[in-house]
């Protein structure tokens, strides 16, 4: 059984009542999310496109890979193409799946799908009015250094860069 507690633009919160195998009744509050994508845009094999994104929830500018929430009935690969162009201005000839992982499975259903974008051509960003994003191109060596020096604080960026640098393909 589930009771909706809150509805927001991109997710909702519900209280789920569950019966454990031993018969005990428990309640869990869960953020129900449509899923999201994160993109690793590769330029010339040794450079990547990153963004510096002001996140209102933590009031910080974070280094991130471009990412975004799926629209209703939108295939994940199309979400990836749309978000890459909106946030960075780049279009990709090839979008290859890299991995899937849960963003925070203790409290939410959000499944992140990661893609590697290649064959990039530059264009114009299409930011939402409340987005404060700066596009930055860095070398893979610099991204590795940022990861090693703990300069990155965004979980999806840490996960996807780590996977890629460890040879996930």
DSSP letters along 30-92, please?
EEE---EEEEEEEETTTEEEEEEEEETTTTEEEEE--EEEPPTT--HHHHHHHHHHHHH--EE
pLDDT at 73: 92
Residue 81 dihedral angles phi and psi, to the nearest 5°: -60, -45
**111-136: per-residue pLDDT in tens?**
999 999 999 999 989 888 888 999 99
Residue with tokens 């994508």: 37
Q: What confidence score (pLDDT) does residue 76 get?
A: 97
CA 123/CA 125 separation, integer angstroms: 7
Percentage of the chain modeled with pLDDT above 70: 100
10 Å CB burial of residue 78 (0-12, 13-18, 19+) is: middle
Q: How confident is the model at residue 15 (pLDDT cuts 50, 70, 90)?
A: very high
CA distances from 114 to 19, 32, 37, 111 (A): 34, 19, 6, 10
- Interval 83-97 mean pLDDT: 97
**pLDDT at residue 45, as a whole number:** 79
Residue with tokens 């890459």: 84
d(CA 76, CA 86): 15
What pLDDT is recorded for position 157?
98
Dihedral angle at the C-alpha atoms of 39, 43, 45, 47, nearest 10 degrees? -90
pTM over 0.75: yes
* Domains in the chain, CATH or no CATH each: 1-32 (no CATH), 34-165 (3.90.79.10)
Hey, which residues does 100 pair with through a beta bridge? 113
CA atoms within 13 A on the CB side of 121: 3
């Amino acid at each position: 059984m589930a009771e909706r507690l809150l509805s927001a633009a991109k997710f909702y919160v519900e209280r789920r009542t569950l019966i454990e195998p031993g018969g005990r009744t428990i309640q869990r509050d869960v953020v129900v999310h449509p899923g999201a994508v994160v993109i690793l845009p590769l330029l010339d094999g040794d450079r990547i496109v990153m963004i510096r994104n002001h996140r209102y929830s933590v009031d910080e500018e974070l280094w991130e890979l471009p990412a975004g929430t799926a629209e209703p009935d939108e295939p994940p690969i199309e979400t990836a193409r749309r978000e890459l162009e909106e946030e960075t201005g780049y279009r990709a000839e090839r979008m290859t799946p890299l991995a899937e992982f849960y963003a925070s499975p203790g409290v939410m259903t959000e499944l992140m799908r990661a893609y590697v974008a290649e064959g990039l051509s530059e264009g114009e960003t299409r930011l939402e009015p409340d987005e404060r994003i700066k596009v930055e191109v860095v070398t893979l060596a610099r991204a590795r250094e940022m990861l090693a020096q703990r300069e990155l604080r965004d979980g999806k960026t840490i996960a996807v860069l780590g996977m890629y640098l460890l040879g996930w393909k």
